[in-house]
Structure 1
Amino acid sequence: MSVAARNNVQLLGNLLSDKTIICAHGFGTDQRAWLEVVAAFTDEYKVVLFDYVGANDKTVPFFTRWKYKHLHAYASDILDIIEELGLQNITFIGHSAGGMSGALAAIAEPDWFSRLVLLNASPCYLNQDGYVGGFSTTVLDELFAQMETNFHAWASGFAPMVMANPDRPHLANAFSSTLSAMRPDVALAIAKVIFYSDHRLDIGQLSHPTLLIQAQEDVAVPHEVGYFLEKHIPHSTLIFLDTQGHLPHISDASQVIRAIKPFLK
């Protein structure tokens, strides 16, 4: 099985460049979420886009519960892509759980990466003693029950809450569309892996310069998570964008681009 086929890998930009950007999407989206952002970097960088297994109909045939039962499996897929394409000098840009999977990949093979950008990422979504993750077990149980009972109704309500920006309803509609395109049982399985994950003890091993970008208002990732990451990732810088919602690379791509460009220089 080709890794490129499994993850629907696409190459854009300056294919002769020795500098590579890999962009990883989060739950409920696919690689198309990055198109507006990466357009700002295609002159100088080789850009790799891919879909996580289970994200859409192209990748869901490769999904198995026994393999994709933790984020390390998605990190392993990232390393497979890098190895198959022979990539080096990698800047990894990842959103949400896609960002945390990239962090795990960089911890496993640090020499393959040069820097990371983690956008609205979280090492743990569940509130714990002394830690604010944003969700209680009761809220997560209700969320999973709704997904299991009527997935498409849940998606139509979840999308505008997470996207925010109610003055631009087309954004939530687009997110609802990609979310609803997931196979319901696979979406539920992936959501449980993400929301029950806890990588707070892992992130201290991340040795690369890391830019942490957080939205000012994000129902999924509170400010406390950003401060936690900044404290525990040794070479990290935290910035907050004046944006709403969990997907600023879609709702406010220009702000995300302006935040990333100085970091790459």
Structure 2
Amino acid sequence: MTIVTRNNVRLLGNQQADKTVVFAHGFGTDQTAWSAIAPAFYDDHKVVLFDYVGANEKTAPYFSQKKYKQLYSYADDILDILEELALKDVIFVGHSAGGMSGALAAIQEPTWFSKLILLNSSPCYVNQEGYVGGFSQETLEELFSQMEGNFHSWVGGFAPMIMANPDQPQFASAFAKTLSAMRPDVALSIAKVIFYSDHRNDIARLPHPTLLIQGQKDIAVPVHVSHFMEKTIPNGVLSFIDTEGHLPHISGADEVIKAIKPFLN
């Protein structure tokens, strides 16, 4: 098993370019989530796409509950990929928990990164005193119970709720497809790691210029979270985009591209 195989790594774009963009997907998707975004950067950048372990059938064989019991394990995988490809000063673009894993990787090896772009990411999903994460403990316990009881039935309800955009059902269908491609036990394990994680203190140690892109209406990441991250990350800049749902790179790709490009230049 090589790192490239483990994470299904693909190199695209301009291999002679000086700058490298690494795209990292979130829970329930894989690298195909960037299919409407990544080509916009092919001319001027090396582009790296990969799948987090457990995201699909290709990577599920490498999943271990013992190893992947915190987001730091996924951060380590990111660092493995960068080291394997001899990449430095990368621009990291990560969605949701995939973005938070990238932030943890950048904190560990700051010289390996130049900028970060976190799309609808959150350091903590559970409501706390003085902090609106979006989910109560009871809500999460019910969510996990539904996943465990009938995973594919749960996917059928979860996908359209998280994707939103009911007038464009093809987006929810696409999300349901990649979510269903996860092994149910692996999906449940990863979901618990993500939703119970709390990295609010960690992100205060992220030194890089960091663009926080947030859709206006996201049931998974309330606006409060974005403002918290902007206040906490030393060089964080918050940019709201006019999109609906938790996956704007799928449902509102043009808006996401327009937000990213000025930050890179």
TM-score between the two structures when normalised by the length of structure 1: 0.99
Q: Mapping of 1:116-265 within 5 angstroms?
A: 116-265=116-265
Q: Which runs of 5+ in 1 are unaligned?
A: none
Tell me the alpha carbon deviations over residues 42-91 of structure 1, each in whole angstroms, 9 at most, x when there is no partner.
00000000000000000000000000000000000000000000012200
* Alpha-carbon distance in structure 2 between the residues aligned to 1:256 and 1:37: 8
Q: CA deviation at 1:33?
A: 0.4
Q: State the secondary structure of the residue aligned to 2:43.
A: coil
Partner of 2:65: 65
Moved over 4 A (4+): none
Partner of 1:99: 99
User: Which one is further off, 10-19 or 135-144?
Assistant: 10-19
Q: Mapping of 1:24-63 within 5 angstroms?
A: 24-63=24-63
Q: Which amino acid aligns with 2:118?
A: L
Q: Which amino acid aligns with 2:220?
A: A
Q: Percent identity?
A: 68
Partner of 1:12: 12
Instruction: Please provide the CA RMSD for this pair.
Output: 0.5
**Are the counterparts in 2 of residues 126 and 135 from structure 1 also a CA contact under 8 Å?**
yes
**Are the counterparts in 2 of residues 19 and 88 from structure 1 also a CA contact under 8 Å?**
no
Q: CA deviation at 1:18?
A: 2.0
* Alpha-carbon distance in structure 1 between the residues aligned to 2:224 and 2:188: 26
Q: State the secondary structure of the residue aligned to 1:40.
A: helix
Q: Which runs of 5+ in 2 are unaligned?
A: none
Q: CA deviation at 1:239?
A: 1.0
* Alpha-carbon distance in structure 2 between the residues aligned to 1:200 and 1:66: 24
Tell me the alpha carbon deviations over residues 174-215 of structure 1, each in whole angstroms, 9 at most, x when there is no partner.
100110110000000000000000000100000000000001
* Alpha-carbon distance in structure 1 between the residues aligned to 2:67 and 2:175: 26
TM-score between the two structures when normalised by the length of structure 2: 0.99
* Alpha-carbon distance in structure 1 between the residues aligned to 2:212 and 2:86: 27
Aligned residues: 265
